[in-house]
Structure 1
Amino acid sequence: MAELILEARGLSFDYPGGVAALDRLDLGIRRGRKLAVLGPNGAGKSTVLLHLNGTLRPRSGRVLLDGVETAYSRAGLTRWRRRVGLVLQEPDDQLFAATVAEDVSFGPLNLGLGEATTRQRVDEALAALGIGDLADRATHMLSFGQKKRAAIAGALAMRPEVLLLDEPLAGLDRLGARRLLDALDRLATAGTTLVFSTHDVDLAWDFADDVALFAAGRVARSGPAAEVLADREALAQAGLEPPLLLELGVRTREEALARWRS
């Protein structure tokens, strides 16, 4: 079994007004895997991603990176975010520079990298997302799908070991979603650990290696995608139904057995 690269232990967090978002949550992320954080709206999926790169600080509990507790000092957060990147659900919350290349270059330049090294990272990140031709395009002139890929390229230029993505397919049409998944699959093949939140069980079945099923701010069950998504009881407790392809497979098998018995 792959080693854990990132862990949440006993995380609890409340939003202003005493709204509980995480309740002593434990989560382990295995190196080099694609983990779907799966659950209904309000289950704590986005909140936990914001904790996993230090954007939010828990009321109690801790986050570990390679088994070492992370620090919330300025230097600690800088080291943390070099290794763990975050892409928000709305790309307009992340894109701010005039052009795509300028936006993607912000992270490397902020790390103190030279112009030549930064340019190389920008070119590599844009190529990885298939948007090299958009380098000089104004960010406000991009389509929604192009903005999504530009935001991911900005995180990728930091060369994180772990990339967190909040609802990466939200707002995309079928073609845009397929292009983005292809790009993310290439990143995973190259060794990047991916963690993405979703309420789409079919996406988790199709794309994830592992699944963490969220309900009421806790992990109800986690493990290999095929095992978790076959657990009807756990899915029902989270208000979800089994993946369509799994249901079709079960139905086909049951019909075949019925024909054989008859």
Structure 2
Amino acid sequence: MLQISKRFRVVVQLLLCIYCTFSHAKQKITIASGNFAPYFSEQGISGEGYFDLVLLKVLSEHGYKKLDLIPLNNDAIKRYFVSKTADIAINYTALPPVNSYPSKYRVKFLNRVILPAQHWTKKVESLHDLNNLTIGSFIGASDLFGNEYRKLTQLESVKYIEIGNQQALNKQLHKNKIDVRVGDYLVFYWHTAHLTALDPNDYIYLDLLDYQGSFILFHDKDLRDKFDQGLKLLIRSGELKAITTNWLQQYKLPILIEQPLFSLEKPHQKEK
């Protein structure tokens, strides 16, 4: 009887494993993601977005094959996740909603203060030096870069705009309609180098922002834990570094980047 009982337990465990694998393979995961190259898929642009590439790789290696990636701007990412239209949100720039499960990793763009390399811009050493200028950034930026930046955007002496389309925002600086473009270095570099006749080296990129990264959020804790474990393995094995290098080469971007594009953070809310 004892031997039969042990065999029965083994069979049950095997069946459970098969069921879990089958369930993951059948389960559809909807992902609210960014919509600007080179970090995300963008309409009319060939090439794989970096964060999309990593997220899909980690989930597919856990058996999730039906993955629906929806490119969205920052406002739409929030709406899709809060309404539970999406199971996962990547590049969530607001504070995580209650009962969501943030990854312990954040996406960490190379956000910089970008200005044309002119005589007056070489004197800019702090955010305070941007007073009396016209500043443009992406939607949600005023809540992402700390109190000093938020106060700057609210000054009457500063004209501040936020634009949902990254390419349109870059064009504002290219055409001198704004004095300062606040946002990611690689997005601006790639767009300037490959979609215009301008030289990205004719601009300066200042690291003046209090930036902690944006969230990767999940509605399901188990799915979040699987993603965190999978990304941890990619980092430890060196595979993520290889993926990053290949991606930079694909888009003909500067290879030497000291700042990792994922940062390890502690969750900001208590989990139940």
TM-score bracket, normalised by the shorter chain, equals: under 0.3
TM-score between the two structures when normalised by the length of structure 1:
0.27
Looking at CA atoms only, which structure, 1 or 2, has the larger radius of gyration? 2
TM-score between the two structures when normalised by the length of structure 2:
0.26
